[in-house]
Chains A and B, each alone.
Chain A
Amino acid sequence: MSLKITLVYVLRKITEASLALVIGLAASAFLMAIYGYDPGKALYWLFYGGFGTRTVFLDSLAYATPLMLTGAAFAVCASAGLFNIGTEGQAYMGAVGAVIFGGLLPRLAPSLGFASMPLALLGSATLGMLWALGPALLKVLRGVHEVISSIMFNWIAFYTVMYLVRGPITNPARPEMSLPVEPQARFPVLFRGSILTGAIYVAVIASITAYLILKLTKFGFEMRIAGANPDAARYGGVNIPRTILLTYLLSGSLAGLGGGLIVTGRPPVWSIYGTLGNITNVGFDGIGVSLIAMNNPAAVVVSSILIGGLWNGSRFMEPYAGVCSELSRAVIGLIVIALSIPEALRFVRRTFKRWGV
């Protein structure tokens, strides 16, 4: 592709994503107006709180870090035509992996303390991968649709993690949360006064690596062709079950890493709350991140900052405009719905043509 074509292509994708964003925000403004809130004020605080100052922007980047990975996880599966709704549960298991390998293990074997950061990263990716193995095997062996099985795995993960956090890996000093990870496993804060840590480097590197695997390797090519045209892929000698399995494992390890980075990369908790309050929704919102990025793991780096900003900004919307912070999730849902309609984008393009633009 020549540079000009690439640029036009990127510009078109950005326009499409912004259109969906505008639809989502407009619909949510409508929802706020119905219930007597001031949508202008709420949206102002949503964006000012997410991107308005240097400090809040750095915090938004911190919130974007795990979303980048769950987004890349969904994007990897989507490129192969699979829907990994299980990123939520895989992220829970990843967080548990970080606590077990970065907190419990170094505590039991202090000589391993120096390696607790790589152990936590590896542990979270492995546990996320193992949790993705379930839906992948059910899909390959029994033909169970991954949307149904992975939601079941999410709920099983939810209750399992709740059991673990309140039982075997609880913090004896503070029973409302799990054991914290060891200080050596914690990523250093990059800028004083913000909660942004070096974890974001891991997230960016992992997302870019996922993109490179997808675009440059034989495995990535097989994934994409299996997603675009399974019949052609089979005819061309692609082992589809094996591709599905490997795609799911790659996706699960990314999502698990995302869950782990919440524990090792976001001050001041460094552990999992007994309510799971700090790790929930990271998978579901990662779906929005991926869809806004048109399921491209490299573009996910940018779109996750947008959703991370919405998360961060919604904390300001509640006290200053009185609007419940969870409305930001409704905005993400509306954006996803808008993105499901290729026809809306085509309609806009046709309208533009009719006007002669």
Chain B
Amino acid sequence: MRRLIRASLTITAFVTILLLLAFAGLSPGSLLEASLLAMTPLALAAVGESLNEKGGVSNIGIDGIFLVTATVAVFGAEEFGNGYAGVVVGVITGALLGFIHGLLSTYARANQIVAGIGLNIFAYGFVPYFLMAAWGFPGIRVPPKEVLIPLRIISFANISFRVSEFSVLAIALAVSLHFLLYRTPLGLRIRACGESPEAVDVAGVGVYRLRVILSTIGGALAGLGGGFMSLAWFGGVVKEISAGRGFIALACVVASGLEPILSLGFAFIFGFSEALAYAIAVTPGIKEVVPYHLVLSIPYIVTLAIVSIFIGKRRFPRALGQPYIKD
């Protein structure tokens, strides 16, 4: 009951904000549209990351996975002549990177934060190199329109609303992973793997194997977000395409205390703040007053504020980020 009240209060507050913005000259419909798009990569990566963090592997290399997969997804889409095939290439690449990170953090007992930093730095260098190697043009690639994934147009009454199927997929994934984690024996094993790997090991489940699988899934979902970003959202790739979104996705995860559905909610809030920043930056009447570059930093300020408000109440798995060493 209290949850319901809290949820309805949040929604009321949000609608009020939208109405206020509408008075300021920003269209609530297009804001909502843009927020859902900006939410999607954050939500996909955050849901995946909350899964592997529940199992004890933290991957701060999501930003790098976003960058690499957004780029190779465009390459795949052009090779196969189909946007969805490109997204599949992104997912496979993301899974591969997650798999490598999983191997490093289990069998190789790597320091997970250092490995994640390495993955990010690698991506910052690999992406411009790849753009140059594949297309011979520095820093940017805009593929032909035929290989992009168009948004679906939903219209009822006289309102039409553009939405991507990946946004729906992100919401469905968040809900189903919540049930997987809390209502199934496998979910119990995953959570135990992060809380007390010794117990899981004694019960006959391979801790390393499970963690590698979870990390692979987390990487694949981040790869899905990367492919979505370049092929369905921006319609191309630039070498800074992720713009720190991987870390915003991490912020969703820690602010929600590794709950998939809650992290979806935070992803929406961050997506909304991003949509709002861009709307402010282009709306006549407002854009003349506020400096463009300062407006662009709004999503990061919102992220900081929200994480510092919510993190105090959260509890994290005991073995999170620790390599498990069998005796």
Contact = CB atoms under 8 A, between A and B. Distances in A.
21 contacts: A35-B133, A142-B311, A144-B311, A147-B247, A147-B250, A152-B304, A154-B244, A159-B296, A163-B291, A166-B293, A167-B291, A287-B121, A323-B129, A324-B132, A326-B124, A335-B118, A338-B118, A339-B118, A340-B115, A342-B111, A343-B110
Contact of A148 (B109, B117, B294, B307): B307
Given A85-B117, A156-B297, A167-B291, 8 more contacts: A148-B303, A148-B307, A152-B301, A152-B303, A156-B301, A287-B117, A287-B121, A343-B108
Contacts of B312: 142-143
B282 interface: no
B210 interface: no
Nearest to B304: A152
Contacts, number: 157
A95 B255 CA distance: 32
Interface string B130-142: 1111100010000
A342 B293 contact: no
B60 A330 contact: no
A332 interface: yes
A31 interface: yes
B98 interface: no
Interface in A296-352: 323-324, 326-344
Nearest to A326: B128
B300 A330 contact: no
Interface in B101-122: 104, 107-115, 117-122
A149 B129 contact: no
Contacts of B104: 337, 340-341
Interface residues of A, number: 54
Contact of A342 (B110, B119, B254, B303): B110
Interface residues of B, number: 52
Contact of A331 (B107, B125, B250, B251): B125
Nearest to B64: A333
Interface of B: 60, 63-64, 104, 107-115, 117-126, 128-134, 138, 243-244, 247-248, 250-251, 254, 291-294, 296-297, 300-301, 303-304, 307-308, 311-312
A291 interface: yes
A159 B122 CA distance: 23
A122 B113 CA distance: 32
A109 to B, nearest CB: 26
Contacts of A344: 108
Nearest to A164: B293
Interface of A: 31, 35, 37, 83, 85, 134, 138, 142-145, 147-149, 151-156, 158-160, 162-163, 166-167, 281, 284-285, 287-288, 291, 323-324, 326-344
A155 B244 contact: yes
B307 A144 contact: yes
A326 B125 contact: yes
Contacts of B291: 163, 167
A94 B64 CA distance: 26
Nearest to A344: B108
The list of the 10 closest CB pairs from A to B, nearest first, reads: A333-B122, A329-B125, A330-B125, A336-B118, A337-B118, A333-B121, A340-B114, A324-B132, A163-B293, A326-B128
A242 to B, nearest CB: 20
A340 B111 contact: yes
A285 B312 CA distance: 32
Contacts of B111: 340, 342
A337 B108 CA distance: 11
Contacts of A326: 124-125, 128-129
Contacts of B296: 159
A237 to B, nearest CB: 26
A148 B125 contact: no
A153 B123 CA distance: 20
A120 B121 CA distance: 30
B129 A145 contact: no
Contacts of B128: 324, 326
